[in-house]
A = this chain, B = another copy of it.
Amino acid sequence: MLSKKTKYGIRALIALGEHYDKEPVNISFIAESENIPKKFLEQILLELRNAGFLYSKKGAGGGYSLLKNPKDINLVQVMRITGGPIAQLPCVSLNFYQRCEECRDEENCGIRDTFRDVRDATLKILSETTIADLIAKEKGIPKE
């Protein structure tokens, strides 16, 4: 299951993407427009900032803005920051690999093979979907 943290992160990036190249947007605005608890959103934006996706400005008139073009942010990148693994099995995760405790023969596990395929298919879709795509889609602009 996608965590709320990840969902909120993506929605925040969509909101920020709609203000790309404009004045910083403050947290309260995003929290209200996207229906996200403000204090929770603060943490998420902080992580996205520390990961290099956002610029922040403190003080009156401050807020967040996107450092990258929405076209250059895909959902795999976002999920890796906010949500951890994309794979549904630890033994198949590229960035968070862990052996399954109960496993007796990892090299020869049919479940593993299957969920590697699932991971690959998921990765393909998510890596090909950018924040810009989501913004366009929500505006009703069909993808070329």
A residues apposed to B, CB below 8 Å: 1-2, 4, 7-8, 10-11, 14, 34-36, 75, 85, 88-90, 100, 102-105, 108-111, 113-115, 117-118, 121-122, 124-126, 129, 133-135, 137-138, 140
Contact = CB atoms under 8 A, between A and B. Distances in A.
Contacts of A103: 35
Given A1-B85, A1-B88, A35-B104, 12 more contacts: A1-B90, A14-B110, A35-B103, A36-B102, A110-B137, A110-B138, A114-B134, A117-B125, A118-B122, A118-B126, A121-B121, A121-B125
B1 A89 contact: yes
A88 B7 CA distance: 11
A105 B121 CA distance: 27
A110 B75 CA distance: 11
A124 B88 CA distance: 16
Contact of A129 (B1, B36, B114, B133): B114
Contacts of A75: 114
